[in-house]
Each structure stands twice: as structure tokens, then as C-alpha cells.
Amino acid sequence: MSADFALFMSIVLLATAAVSLFSKRISVSLITLFYSSITLGMIFTIYNGVLVGLLHIVTFAGAVSVLLLTAILMVGEPKLDMNASLGAIATLSAVIVVVALAAYRLLGSVPTNVGPTTAYPATALLQFVWLFRPWDLLILLMVFASATIVVVNLFSQEEP
């Protein structure tokens, strides 16, 4: 796999994790955490860790998400107590600083011509997307979108 793919999956993983932690609606938080679990499982599976990826998806996107959903339904709080925007800004600032330092440290010590063998040499940005079958991607997107709408409606009916 090319570095574009790793960058794309990392951006998706970080975005879903950040939205799940900093969103004020519990349904959005739960759905994005589910997507984050799916994304990390896909990363494991694609990079030759099939058993680890499948176990990760089954455990976190399946069992733990259902546990979280059950606990939230039992508690029954429509909105979380998230009046800590200053803390969120401080956390994001600290994360940006740490990531910048880590990237500087890692990029400074990485040799230039070491890397995994690329099965699909990508010459353009995001070219790996077109290597997959588009109908499969479309069906996956439809399934995820319908599941998202169902869960959002489930939680929105409980709000006064």
C-alpha cells in the first residue's frame, strides 16, 4: 500500500476519534466511535493483520459499541454535560504540539529509501480508491448511512 492510503486512513481515524470525543450529542459520539473502530480494523486487516483486524472489529465495533449503547439507553441522558470548551481547546492544542514534535522526531530519523513493497504503485493522490470496485464501496456507504440514520432517529425520539 502507498503512503497516500496510510495518510488517508490516519486522517479518517483521527477525525472520527476527535469528533467522538468533542461532540455534544451522545448519538454522534457513539456513531463516530463506531466508525473509528471500523477504520482501525480496516487498517489492521489491510496491513496483513487479518486476525487482529477482524477481532478488533468484532470486539470494539460489535460488543463494546452494543455495551455503550445499552449503558446510554439505561442512563437515558439525551445530552452530555460537556461545558468544558476551554478544556477541549487545551487538549487539541496539546495534541497538535505533541504530534508536531513526534513527526519532527520521527521524520528526522527515518532513512530515505526504506519502505514496504508497494503492490499498487500510486502515481496520483488518492489513486488507490479507484483500484477498489466502486459498487462495493457504494453498497458499503449505503449500509453505513442507513445505520447512521436509524441510530440517530432512535436517540432523537428520546429527547423531549
Partner 1 sequence: MVTDQTIFLVTSAAMVFLGLGSMAYSRNLIKTIMSFQVLVFGVNLALFASSLEGQYSLISNSLVLFSILAGACVEAVGLAIVVSVYRKYGTLNPYEIRRLRN
Q: Which residues bind partner 1 (CB under 8 A)?
A: 1, 3, 6-7, 10, 13-14, 17-18, 20-22, 26, 29, 33, 36-37, 40, 43-44, 47-49, 51-52, 55-56, 59-60, 63-64, 67-68, 71-72, 74-75, 77, 80-84, 87-88, 90-92, 94-95, 98-99, 102-103, 106-107, 110, 112-116
- In the complex with partner 1, the residue whose CB is nearer, 94 or 140, is 94
Show the beta-strand stretches assigned E in 1-160. Answer: none
**Angle, CA of 114, 108 and 100, to the nearest 5°:** 120
Q: How far is the CB of 59 from partner 1 (least distance, A)?
A: 5
Are 28 and 19 in contact by the 8 Å Cβ rule? The answer is yes
Torsion of CA 20, 24, 28, 33, to 10 degrees: 20
